[in-house]
Amino acid sequence: MISLKNLYAFLEGNFDYLLVVDSAEQIIYISQIMKRDCFTDGSLPPNPHLKDALSSSSLNTFRTALSQAKASGRGMAIYTPKKSSDYTVPLKVGYIKGEEAGTFLFFGNRAGGFGYQAEWEKEERIKELSCLYEVSEWIEASSTIKRFFTELPRYLSAGMMYPDEVSVYSIYQGVGYGQKYPSDNYISVLLVVGDQDKGEIRVGYRNDTHELLQEEQQMLNEIGRTVSLALERKQLLERISLKEEEEKEYSTRLATLKKEIETKTQEVEEQSSRINIVDSYLSRVNKEWEETKTRLETLFQAVPDDIVLIDRNRKIVMTNRKDIQPGVSCYKGYFNRERPCDNCRLARIIKDKAPLTITMKQHERYLQVHALPVYNKDHEVDGILEFYRDVTLEKSYERQLQQADKLASLGQLVSGIGHEINNPNQFIHGNIKIIKQSLEDILPIMDEYYHSHPELKIARLKYDFFRQHIMTLVDDMSHGSDRIKGIIEGLRSFARKDEGLLVDKVDLNTLIESSTRLVHNEVRKQAGIVLDLAKGIPTFTGNSQKIEQILINLMVNASHAMPEGKKGIITIRTRVDKKDVVLEVEDNGKGMNENTLKQIFNPFFTTKRSRGGTGLGLAIAYRIIEEHGGNISVISKPGVGTTFTIRLPIRSVSNNTIKGK
């Protein structure tokens, strides 16, 4: 079982910034980096409080994060060091409700890293045992009680956390020794000799910022028992000596008795010392185990990321996942596998004895896994502690940046191609007009010639057939040239850089017609487009490119919703309802169930992941409509189809110069 101190060491090794506070904003634990940032000399004041450690700006964000975490279990705070405002660090905050009060855990990194350090406990225990030995040796070596208590501070200070700052004051049989300081911040032990309180030893720090530890009190208790026993023995020896002087006839018997007492006393002291050490150790271990278990479980639950402790047999010892029970295998509980992972992190850490960090994919999620070795007393890997962090959003953002770069390049390409196509199309469009005017002048002459030459053929066609269709062909060429021009203008408009300003006079019907031309080739195989546009739709102030982006997204989504092997119909309607322009995009495709309808406007939610869908189209459309002061609603029924309804106000936006968010 990992102690609370070891857990703090693990967490402090994993996170540069670590701060644990209770519901009263009292600081329970603070990492070394934050301690140096928050306090002038790098040491904690008595009863440290959150307001003592933070600047006013950081304190406000921390208190907001406390409220968020208490309400939802987690939150976020922005930490600015007191000594420097050159940088800020975002810290996550978790909350766990205890039996009497809650605990908050702030943590984060300025730079990644792991560490493990718990050797100081061993060093402190060595200091305590050394101090006990030195005091025992000195009380035996000292010739008088006065000399023993006079020199006691020098020996006892060596066992304290800060030896140079220790003050020791002793009272024995009404006589004081040493410096009587501090008066109210000290630890003490009574000296009981012959079932009577004969005195007291008090130990404290001259520097009020140093805290007295429970281990130091336990050490003092052991010293007190040793000193009391030695004083009792000295008192007994004095009585025996007095008895020898008063009753010399019993000298031989008393000498023998003294020898026996000394022998028995030594045996009792040795046994008592062993029992006391074992009893003290077991008592300390048992109490710390109970406290550590409670704190460890609390901290595990407070950390937002998944944490799991795994032993050498790949069995889960502890986790903050409520749906996973301890005792099951890690690969079964976390990944629902029947055998260990191919690239098992436990096996790698047992081999290399070093932490590792990997990124793995689980279904649709990407997880960043930090694995730390857990050592036993022989410094062998006894298991691992793993932190799982969901980095799916970061991966999605990376893909979106790549896609945005591609779209930017495509926009430049479209603009260049549009220019190259538009130039020859201008020649075609102008020449068709000349050809049409020429035919209008030539055809009457050809008609007269045909009356006298009925066998006349033009382009291997009989003249009467040629005469009936030639003008239709010319008109079709003219319409085709106009269509090419319209498509090119639409592409160039779509590829034009959008400044995000709501300053355009938007003609909705015109935008629908141009958008339909742009998506014609994309949707024609799955669906036909029917336009039911009301005449006289008023214009409104907005952003034409963003509205066009919504139209294209809705039409393409509707075409993708058509069942396999069936060509559907996409109907686009416009109308005026009081002070709103209303746009409806209806399809007779597959439709959506209630669960899908609840999530369609959430970023990164998509039912077309296998076809390259990003889940951003409808989320962006929702934001654009909000920017224009409108709203969007959807009605859908599985097997029947879907209708999106957009309402946009017929008025100028209150601040047309503000960019869309």
Largest CA distance in the chain: 178
Pairing assessment for the beta strands 102-108 and 186-193 based on DSSP bridges = unpaired
Distance from C-alpha of 106 to C-alpha of 25, rounded to nearest angstrom = 12
The mean pLDDT of 549-555, rounded to a whole number, is: 88
CB of 435 closer than 8 Å to CB of 476 = no
Distance of CA 252 to the CA centre of its chain: 82
Confidence label for 583 from pLDDT (cuts 50, 70 and 90) = very high
Q: pLDDT, tens digit, for every residue of 188-227? A: 889 888 788 889 999 988 877 777 877 788 888 888 888 8
98-145: per-residue pLDDT in tens? 767 788 888 887 643 333 334 455 556 556 666 776 777 777 777 788
Of the chain, the percentage scoring pLDDT greater than 70 comes to 80
3-state secondary structure string across 249-287: HHHHHHHHHHHHHHHHHHHHHHHHHHHHHHHHHHHHHHH
The 10s digit of each residue's pLDDT in 219-266 is 888 888 888 888 887 777 767 767 777 777 666 777 887 888 888 888
**584 pLDDT higher than 90:** yes
Rg (CA), the chain: 43
Helix axes 119-141, 145-156, angle to 10 degrees: 170
Please state, in angstroms and rounded to a whole number, the distance separating the CA atoms of residues 181 and 264. 39
506: pLDDT strictly greater than 80: yes
Are 168 and 179 spatial neighbours (Cβ–Cβ below 8 Å)? Answer: yes
Residue 661's pLDDT is what?
A: 34
Mean pLDDT over 318-345 rounds to 81
Reading across the β-sheet that carries 580-587, which strands appear in turn?
527-533, 568-577, 580-587, 641-649, 631-637
Q: Is the pLDDT of residue 304 over 80?
A: no
d(CA 547, CA 555): 13
**What residue type is 498 in one-letter code?**
D
| 182 prior amide bond cis, ω within 30 | yes
Instruction: State whether residue 83 is helix, strand or coil.
Output: coil
Q: Which two tokens stand for residue 481?
A: 């040239």
d(CA 108, CA 91): 5
Residues 6+ apart with CB under 8 A from 275: none
Q: Which residue has the tokens 């020449």?
A: 431
What pLDDT is attached to residue 133? 65
Q: pLDDT tens digits, residue range 643-656?
A: 999 999 987 544 44
pLDDT band per the 50, 70, 90 thresholds, residue 39: confident
| Least confident interval from 96-110, 156-170, 472-486, 515-529 | 472-486
SS3 of residue 6 by DSSP? helix
Higher pLDDT, 417 or 457: 457
User: Token pair of 391, please?
Assistant: 């980095």
Residue type, 56: S
Q: CA 79, 82, 87 angle in degrees (round to 5)? A: 50
Please state, for a pLDDT cut of 90, what percent of the chain lies above it: 7
- Express each pLDDT in 178-189 by its tens digit: 877 656 788 888
* pLDDT in the model for residue 585: 92
What pLDDT score does 567 carry?
86
| ∠ CA 400-404-409, rounded to 5° | 150
394 vs 660, higher pLDDT: 394
The stretch 516-536 carries a mean pLDDT of 87
pLDDT at 116: 34
Please answer whether residues 494 and 556 qualify as being in contact, where contact means their C-beta atoms are separated by less than 8 angstroms: no
- Cα-based angle 126, 185, 127 (whole degrees, multiple of 5): 5
Of 293-302, 311-320, 549-558, 579-588, where does mean pLDDT reach its minimum? 293-302
Average pLDDT over residues 530-541: 90
Spatial CA neighbour of 585 closest among 613, 561, 551: 551
Q: pLDDT tens, 422-452?
A: 778 777 877 888 888 888 888 898 888 888 8
Q: 318 forms bridges with which residues in the sheet?
A: 309
Closest CA relative to residue 368, chosen from 354, 347, 387: 387
The answer, yes or no, to whether residue 153 has pLDDT greater than 90, is no
Phi-psi sector, 629: left (phi>0), alpha (psi -120 to 50), beta: left
- Please tell me the distance from the alpha carbon of residue 455 to that of residue 314, in angstroms, as a whole number: 97
Cross-sheet strand order for the sheet of 381-390: 316-319, 306-311, 381-390, 365-375, 356-362
Q: Let me know: does 617 contact 557? Beta carbons within 8 Å.
A: yes
Mean pLDDT, rounded, of the chain: 79
In the predicted structure, residue 581 carries a pLDDT above the cut 90: yes
| Mean pLDDT (whole number) for 529-551 | 88
Give the CA dihedral 610, 612, 614, 620, nearest 10 degrees.
-130
Distance CA 653, CA 626 (A): 11
Inter-residue contact 31 to 117 (CB < 8 Å): no
* CB neighbour burial string for 158-187, b if at least 16 within 10 angstroms, e if fewer: ebbbeeeebbbbbbbeeeebbeeebeeebb
Top-ranked range on mean pLDDT: pick from 80-94, 450-464, 628-642: 628-642
Beta pairing class for 631-637 and 641-649: antiparallel
**Cβ neighbours for 239, distance < 8 A, ≥ 6 positions apart:** none
Decide if 418 contacts 488 (C-beta within 8 A). Answer: yes
Token pair recorded at residue 576: 């005026």
Residue 571 scores a pLDDT above 90: yes
Residue 655: the pLDDT is: 42
What value does the mean pLDDT take over residues 277-290? 76
Q: Which residue has the higher pLDDT, 640 or 278?
A: 640
Instruction: Map tokens 């075609």 to a residue.
Output: 428
**582 band by pLDDT with thresholds 50, 70 and 90:** very high
Per-residue pLDDT, 85: 61
CA dist 140 and 537 (Å) reads: 108
At residue 41, the 3 state secondary structure works out as coil
**Model's pTM, two decimal places?**
0.34
Predicted local confidence at residue 657, as pLDDT: 38
